[in-house]
Amino acid sequence: MLPILLSHFLNRYVRRRTRALQMAALATMLSTSFACAQTPDTVRIGYQKSSTLIAVLKTNGELEKALAPLGVKISWHEFTSGLPLLEAINTGNVDFGADVADTVPLFAQAAGAKLAYVAEEAASPAAQAIVVPAESPLKSVADLKDKKVAVTKGAGSHFLLLSALSKAGLSFKDITPAYLPPADGRIAFVGGNVDAWVAWDPFLTSAQRQSNARVLSDGSNGLASYKRYYLASAAYAAKRGDVLNVIFKKLDETGKWAKAEPKEAAKLLSGLWGIDAATVEEANSHRSYKVGAVTKAGLSEQQTIADAFFAEKLIPVKVNAADVAIWSPK
């Protein structure tokens, strides 16, 4: 059965034919990934290719080493995006997920998912931006009126666009959105089929370096903090705090390493992502990679995002962003 969140939300994001292809691919991936039942000594970790810190840990084997004293092994499950990853946690097919943009848990909350926040990466407002071609006559966000803008529907970049338009005195109805995933957004942008594109790293930096994209606005000045979150099923968080403590510690250590050794981190990730090391290093400079505990007070912008998305009918119900389970490291 296709994931509930995917069918409820992701189905809206793309054209009908593309939807069918994506869901078929996801169904195949899920049936393969979860063929083996969970064993008591295995933590099932879901991740995206762009999940930087987990990508490092998966590659260097340090998390396996850290969990060995607990007798816990890891099974890894890659997802194409955050929504199906969180749905897999909610349905009990994955125990821990790393990492998703700030908007994604709100869709899960709206669908009644039983998740627990485990950790967050501190704000990285420069890691996403609205860009235009270098030769574009557009000089400010206000100039986007009546223009075609590529954006990934429901992503953190979508909230940045809403926030920036509002500050410029515009509404979403003042532009023509082209809802595209990052790879297709890049193609449309380079091909001149859209006037602007809202991208996040490493796509953002790649567009700047390779296509001379010019930034109209990033998330600075309070527009969009762009935090990223790590979550677990509420049930797993309640019973396996020992495992989550180890994961939290290794994420923290890896984040500090990535900032202290930017060239080494870029070299490792370059091979994983298929992006040149110089671009990865610059993209990483926009990310905080500062891992910390989640607090209800720290979820204040989540409420702002939830309200904005509800107003735009992106989520079907009002969400109390603080009405969630939060696991705290010991």
Confidence category of residue 40, pLDDT binned at 50, 70, 90: low
Looking up tokens 């933590």, which residue turns up? 43
Position 29 pLDDT exceeds 70: no
d(CA 330, CA 328): 7
Q: What's the mean pLDDT when you consider all of the chain?
A: 88
Confidence category of residue 38, pLDDT binned at 50, 70, 90: low
Helix 203-211 vs helix 277-285: angle between axes, to the nearest 10 degrees?
120
Q: What is the pLDDT of residue 19?
A: 44
Q: What is the pLDDT of residue 312?
A: 92
What's the mean pLDDT in 314-321? 94
Ranges 20-24, 43-47, 238-242, 322-326: which has the least confidence = 20-24
Confidence category of residue 123, pLDDT binned at 50, 70, 90: very high
| Structure-block tokens of residue 212 | 């001379």
The percentage of the chain sitting over the pLDDT mark of 90, rounded to a whole number, equals 82
The percentage of the chain sitting over the pLDDT mark of 70, rounded to a whole number, equals 88
pTM of the model: 0.83
What's the mean pLDDT in 12-37? 40
- pLDDT tens for 164-191 read 999 999 999 999 999 998 889 999 999 9
What are the structural domains, with CATH classification, of the chain?
A: 4-124+227-273+288-326 (3.40.190.10), 125-218 (3.40.190.10)
What's the mean pLDDT in 241-264? 98
What's the mean pLDDT in 81-106? 92
Distances 48 to 84, 85, 100, 299 between C-alpha atoms, Å: 10, 8, 8, 23
- pLDDT tens for 268-295 read 999 988 999 999 999 999 999 999 999 9
CB atoms within 10 A of CB 274: 8
Q: What is the pLDDT of residue 39?
A: 58
